Amino acid sequence: MGAATGIGSLPGTDIVEAVRTILGELPDLPYLPELPDRGPGADLVGRGAGLLVELPVEVYANRWRIASRPGHDLRVARDLMERDLDAVTEQAAGYTGTFKVQAAGPFTLAAAIELATGGPLLRDPGAVRDLVASLAEGLRGHLADLAARLPGARLLLQLDEPSLPAALAGRVPTESGFGTLRRVEESVARSALSEIIEAAGVPVVVHCCARDVPVDLVRRAGAAGVALDLGLVEDLDALGETLDAGLGLIAGAVDTRPQANGRTPSSAQVASRVRELWGRLGFPASRLPEQVVVAPACGLAGASPEYARAVIAACRDAGRRLAEE
């Protein structure tokens, strides 16, 4: 009731300070922060690639690609994750609430990681199936590790899939950039997400801060919720049907870039934005705080530390406002 959370990334390079900030500012639904400013291996794709089992990767020409054997880049990615988990173990000892962890989804990884021979892995259906199985196994182990470190917590997995709409629509560019890859069939995407969700063994929220979020596909894949940018919602009917089916909503209600006047939206403004969408969907106001979590629209790595902290505070206070109404 009245919870708020973040999407994932924050500015800076100090993971201990980032974990302390999240635990202090978002006590109802804290999460494992991501700090991409630390370089390759700390970015969304690098962190996801580091979770893959028996599918080594490396950085080549500033892009991740499949490698013949594990090397330096993969060791860096896994070492950074280990440091992050150590920080959570130390700072969140004794925590007994819900704790969220994020990971890149299979289609975002397949669109970003290149085959050893060149071109996005997404172009090869067999390679995509291997990636899905590898990621499912990696996430199972990752979540088991985190559960052992936070034995009193209830874990929630957020799958980040910003590239999923493009993959479904056939908009992922080829290696040359002059063409696009063949679109992924909805049945294939649903099956892949279902495999990941089943392997996770914990509730899964699928996050996408792009347009055309396939909320019905997410529901049919077995997700517990969807996270999206309220400013990009176009199909209210599909979202309404998804929420009516009981899924939760992480409502991205604050822009990750400062307003023209440099001010952060107030908690009252953030709450009003969430309330207005809920009203347009036609649901009873009493259901809102039970089904909706307030959050920034996307990650905050590109924001200043001051703006990031202000956004987090606005989301937290907006969630409390909505619960008290």
Domain boundaries, the chain: 15-39+77-324
- Between β-strands 154-160 and 292-296, what pairing exists: parallel, antiparallel or unpaired? unpaired
Half-sphere exposure of 256 (CA within 13 A, CB side): 19
What is the rounded distance in angstroms from the CA atom of residue 294 to the CA atom of residue 153? 20
* Percent of the chain at pLDDT exceeding 90: 90
> What are 114-128's pLDDT values in tens digits?
999 999 999 999 999
pLDDT at residue number 271: 95
Residue 164 near residue 107 (C-beta atoms within 8 A): yes
Predicted confidence (pLDDT) at residue 103 exceeds the cutoff of 80: yes
Burial of 246 (0-12, 13-18, 19+ CB in 10 A): exposed
Smallest CA-to-CA distance from 102 within 4, 198, 202, 194 is with: 202
SS3 295: strand
Which two tokens mark 121? 């892995």
CATH domain 15-39+77-324 topology: TIM Barrel (3.20.20)
Which two tokens mark 242? 């998804």
Predicted confidence (pLDDT) at residue 309 exceeds the cutoff of 90: yes
Other CB atoms within 10 Å distance of the CB of residue 236: 12
> What are 146-170's pLDDT values in tens digits?
999 999 999 999 999 999 999 999 9
> What are 4-52's pLDDT values in tens digits?
999 999 999 999 999 999 999 999 999 999 999 999 999 999 999 999 9
pLDDT at residue number 268: 94
pLDDT category at 318 given cuts 50, 70, 90 is very high
How much is the mean pLDDT over the chain? 95
